[in-house]
Amino acid sequence: MKGPGMNRQVEIATFGAGCFWGVEASFRELPAVLDATAGYMGGQTPEPGYAAVCTGKTGHAEVVQVRFDPQQSGYESLLALFFSMHNPTTLNRQGPDIGNQYRSVIFFHSDSQHQLARQAIAELDQSGRWQQPVVTQVVAAPEFWPAEEYHQRYLEKNGLGICSI
């Protein structure tokens, strides 16, 4: 017997756009997003924690890993939201947050995601929306490390709403 959602496809996408609190909250607003988890990716230290990542010495970026239903909304919609929530032309900086842990980065999980991310960057550069070129990194997804529990749904838990640029 099949119930609702039993045939649901699920894909994973991972984005770094500065502090992960606002990024996570923004992705949760999309109906296709089934879950969004704050975490760390792209560094050399196994099992990094927030205090270590904040030093900028682990090489990890603060990221949000998104589980989404591609039948409800494609990866392109996630890319559009990602590029709307931060300034992708600032290297290792978003607002007051400075360091490589706040870099603009897309960690792709498939050849299709890689191709679509590169295409979105090229289109954004050609659009003239930003005066500087997009510096967002596009990197194959390494191991994802979930952030500590108190970071999950942080803005929701603390009644702070959604923040963005």
DSSP state of 162: -
The order of strands in the sheet holding 137-140 is 137-140, 104-108, 11-17, 61-68, 33-41, 145-146
Question: Are the beta carbons of 69 and 9 closer than 8 angstroms?
Answer: yes
- Of the candidates 118, 99, 102, which has an alpha carbon nearest to the alpha carbon of residue 110? 118
Burial of 73 (0-12, 13-18, 19+ CB in 10 A): middle
Q: Which residues are catalytic?
A: 19
- Of the candidates 26, 25, 31, which has an alpha carbon nearest to the alpha carbon of residue 68? 31
